Amino acid sequence: DARLAALHPKIVEVAEQLFRSDHPAAAVFEAAKAVNNRVKEMTGLPGDGQGMIGVAFKDDGPTLVLADLTTQTGRDIQAGYRFLFMGSQQAIRNPAAHEPFGPMDDDEAFELLGLASHLMRKLDQASRGN
């Protein structure tokens, strides 16, 4: 219960019931979809997944800005999170969208839900770019 309560509210909203009903892989899939959908809503960009997210957080003229892009550190943070967001879609959402859910234990599920939660918190801090 404490682990679920610590997650971002948008992740709890989409994943808690599935997790509690012994569907951890489905909970993780819904959390990854929620990250994708939030980026899409915040940006108005077409498409889905890693391609859309790559555009949202691109190096030059990103739609969503996560750091001070006038500094090398800020540009590194922006690029690093672009890859984390893109990777979450390619490695977690996409396989689950095209293949049957595989077995997943609670610990792995919480780690992946934690990643989705962290990405949601980064979106809470994001500012609008171009």
Convert the pLDDT of each residue in 52-96 to its tens digit. Answer: 999 999 999 999 999 999 999 999 999 999 999 999 999 999 887
**Quick one: DSSP state of residue 121?**
H
Q: What is the pLDDT of residue 76?
A: 97
Convert the pLDDT of each residue in 5-48 to its tens digit. Answer: 999 999 999 999 999 999 999 999 999 999 999 999 999 999 99
* Res. 98: pLDDT tops 80: no
pTM (predicted TM-score): 0.94
Q: Do the beta carbons of residue 14 and residue 30 sit within 8 Å?
A: yes
- For 105, the token pair is 């234990």
* Res. 101: pLDDT tops 90: no
* Res. 130: pLDDT tops 80: no
Q: What is the pLDDT of residue 94?
A: 82
Q: What is the pLDDT of residue 105?
A: 93
Token look-up 């500094």 returns: 71
- If phi > 0 it is left, if psi is from -120 to 50 it is alpha, else beta; for residue 62 that is beta
DSSP SS3 for 42: helix
- Specify the DSSP element, H or E, that contains 65: strand 64-65
- If phi > 0 it is left, if psi is from -120 to 50 it is alpha, else beta; for residue 8 that is beta
